[in-house]
Chains A and B, each alone.
Chain A
Amino acid sequence: MLEIKNLHARIGDAEILKGVTLTIPDGEIHAIMGPNGAGKSTLSYVLSGRDGYEVTEGEAIYNGQNILEMEPEERAAAGLFLAFQYPVELPGVGNANFLRTALNAIRRSRGEEELDAVAFLKQARAAVKQLAMKEDFLKRNVNVGFSGGEKKRNEMLQMALLKPGLAILDETDSGLDIDALKIVAEGVNALRSEKFSALVITHYQRLLDHIVPDVVHVLANGKIVRSGNADLAKELEASGYVGLEAA
């Protein structure tokens, strides 16, 4: 369970998150929608521990631990995963090598045995197939020369292998065609269990047709201004965010 309480965060002098409160019980999927610049990506970065964000108030407790005090890699080990809005390129670093290094780092921290190359490749190939990606995907350098859609799918590949307890998807659907969107949704739905929860940040209702959320929140101007069930997303699709920011 993730409990965010009255979270305030700033970048330099600008306060971006102005008291976010949000609880995601295990097994639930919550969506966050909201206008550009509302602070959605900022929330995802603060939760995963990126430098440059100062938390001035509040806390974020995941499975009893205050994750805001942890290093990014410790949060990953605790089960947190962020699918980046803009995945980062790592020139010269092979995708398979990166995935295996990450997977083994997390396995080590959980006290599990590391996977050898053969066992890893078996898992990785299966995941690649599931996501309808080309075989050579694993041989290419991490995100280098990937199309926008390929980058997003690569995030999903990482998620499939790292099997997080809590996934934050930051606009993973942006730039995807409908087939790719379904594949991403299947990837998330495949992880659904009592022990898995997700925070899905999106602009579009259409993703939520495929990943049906338990709760939809609207983030505007650094605060959650409305929460509701899946119907809220449909309502927003029709009326937009006008009027919500002042709320």
Chain B
Amino acid sequence: MSSTTDAVIQDLAAQKYKYGFTTEIEMEEFPKGLSPDIVRMISAKKGEPAWLLEWRLKAYEAWLKMEEPTWARIHHAPIAYQDLYYYAAPAKAAPKSLDEVDPELLRTYEKLGIPLNERAALAGVAVDAVFDSVSVATTFRDTLAKAGVIFCPISEAVREHPELVRKYLGSVVPAGDNYFAALNSAVFSDGSFVFIPKGVKCPMELSTYFRINARNTGQFERTLIIAEDGASVSYLEGCTAPMRDENQLHAAVVELVAMDDAKIKYSTVQNWYPGDADGKGGIYNFVTKRGACRGRNSKISWTQVETGSAITWKYPSCILQGEGSVGEFYSVAVTNGHQQADTGTKMIHIGKNTSSTIISKGISAGKSNNTYRGQVKILPGASGARNFTQCDSLLIGDQCGAHTVPYIENRNASAKVEHEATTSKIAEDQLFYCRSRGLSEEDAVGLIVNGFCKDVLKELPMEFAVEAQKLLAVSLEGSVG
């Protein structure tokens, strides 16, 4: 498309992942491989009650009998599950307060743009920082506690609020739900727990920042968010990992529960290491995210900006059980280089007058493959249900692929389902128009892509929208030429 030389493009591709550094810190690791003993060790390390160990072991048994799913449009060499570490954590005892956090870790998060020092922190955002298998710091806990909000590592919630965890854990994503969820249920080590009591509007944005650092270590975090009647919360997760030549496994589970009139907004900016220009290395991201709109007029809204990972396999879903409940899914998935993304959503309409909106923007560049896979299911009792799906793909170059796989099942005659899909290319005349006004080719692509994604980006919390826009531009650097 231009005379930009190959050298320049390669240069950009090499430097584009800014978060690829590693942290040198003493780690505690359990032996390699997965067995009932490893599950017991993790549970013991966390000081868990017997019921949770039982639950984990059952999940492990279920996992042994399951097979990795093969229906997604992704390809990878077999994952050597017995060659992975299932637990890795900074060796020093868990810090009791921010002052005790290892300075090396504080520096790591600072480099990632997430200062954990509350004075330096982004105003109005509380952060839980998860490093490999454990949470290393949670900010603004006092402020939140005053409002009655619980925001803490899930391992701590197991100890401090066992009745809540026992009531809700696995109630949205059962331990044996699918291969990766079963694996996670057996070995999850940490993640965030959020509880917003009746009538409380969470006073700040909540955010969890996941960092994979250790080599050959799987990350299996578990997030559980509960909003009681009339409660509301906006939660954001971010993720990065060092550049390593081998692939690393990330298999998370997120469960959301919204009761009557409750609202949960869950945003993700996923920027795991995508692998190098030849497709070597990168994170395998197999994630199960599901929200249950249990109460009347409850609302769960997923917004995701997926730019990282070698493989993304994820379908944040809503079970619309409460009458008049609302599910939303706004997604931008960018693939470049050799990345593969198979992502979308499921909207299951059970209650009357439930409604769902799906806006998906897929951008493929390089030699990547990008699939939208979405299910809309209207059960017989869901009279007056509504779904609107808009699914747009943008292609950059002619070596990439975009695919749209909708599954629509409507079993109620009064329900209405609409689906629109488009595929387009960045037109040469658009690029030239921008460049003739002084924009570089990279900036022109960034501008056009951000325009294409606007309907999704405007759903992100303001503090993160600008960051996401920059990320999109960076992810596509070197994609034209």
Contact = CB atoms under 8 A, between A and B. Distances in A.
Q: Do A and B come from the same complex?
A: yes
A105 B440 contact: yes
B430 A73 contact: no
A52 B453 CA distance: 29
Interface residues of B, number: 26
Contacts of A75: 436
Contacts of B2: 51, 71
B454 interface: yes
Contacts of A97: 447
Nearest to A73: B435
A109 interface: yes
Contacts of B453: 92
A90 interface: yes
B3 A71 contact: yes
A188 interface: no
A73 B2 CA distance: 12
Given A92-B450, A92-B454, A93-B448, A102 B439 contact: yes
A82 interface: yes
Interface string B1-35: 11100000000000000000000000000000000
A49 B436 contact: yes
B438 interface: yes
Contacts of B443: 101, 105
Nearest to A158: B437
B66 to A, nearest CB: 42
Contact of B1 (A48, A51, A103, A105): A51
A162 interface: yes
Number of chain A interface residues as a range:
20 to 34
A73 B448 contact: no
A84 B438 CA distance: 15
Interface in A70-105: 71-73, 75-77, 81-82, 84, 87-93, 97-98, 101-103, 105
B443 to A, nearest CB: 7
A141 B429 CA distance: 16
A224 interface: no
A90 B433 CA distance: 9
A14 B428 CA distance: 20
B432 interface: yes
Q: By CB atoms of chain A within 10 A, which of B428, B432, B438, B453 has the most?
A: B438
Contacts of A73: 435-436, 438-441
B451 interface: yes
A81 B436 CA distance: 7
A87 B427 CA distance: 13
A94 to B, nearest CB: 8
B452 interface: yes
A139 interface: no
Given A51-B1, A51-B428, A101-B443, A76 B438 contact: yes
A166 interface: no
A98 B447 contact: yes
B438 A90 contact: no
Contacts of A87: 433
B1 A91 contact: no
Residue among A50, A84, A106 with most chain B CB within 10 A: A50
A91 to B, nearest CB: 6
B451 A72 contact: no
Nearest to A76: B438
Contacts of A106: 437-438
Interface string A114-133: 00000000000000000000
Interface string A42-54: 0000001111100
Given A71-B3, A105-B439, A105-B443, A93 B433 contact: no
A92 B432 contact: no
Q: Which of B2, B435, B453 gathers most chain A CB within 10 Å?
A: B435
Interface of A: 48-52, 71-73, 75-77, 81-82, 84, 87-93, 97-98, 101-103, 105-106, 109, 141, 158, 162
Which 4 pairs across A and B sit closest by C-beta, in order of nearness? A92-B451, A93-B451, A102-B437, A76-B438
12 contacts: A49-B435, A50-B436, A73-B436, A73-B439, A76-B438, A90-B430, A91-B451, A93-B448, A101-B447, A102-B438, A105-B439, A105-B443
Interface of B: 1-3, 427-430, 432-441, 443, 447-448, 450-455
Given A76-B437, A92-B453, 11 more contacts: A71-B435, A73-B440, A75-B436, A84-B433, A87-B433, A88-B427, A91-B451, A92-B452, A93-B448, A105-B438, A109-B438
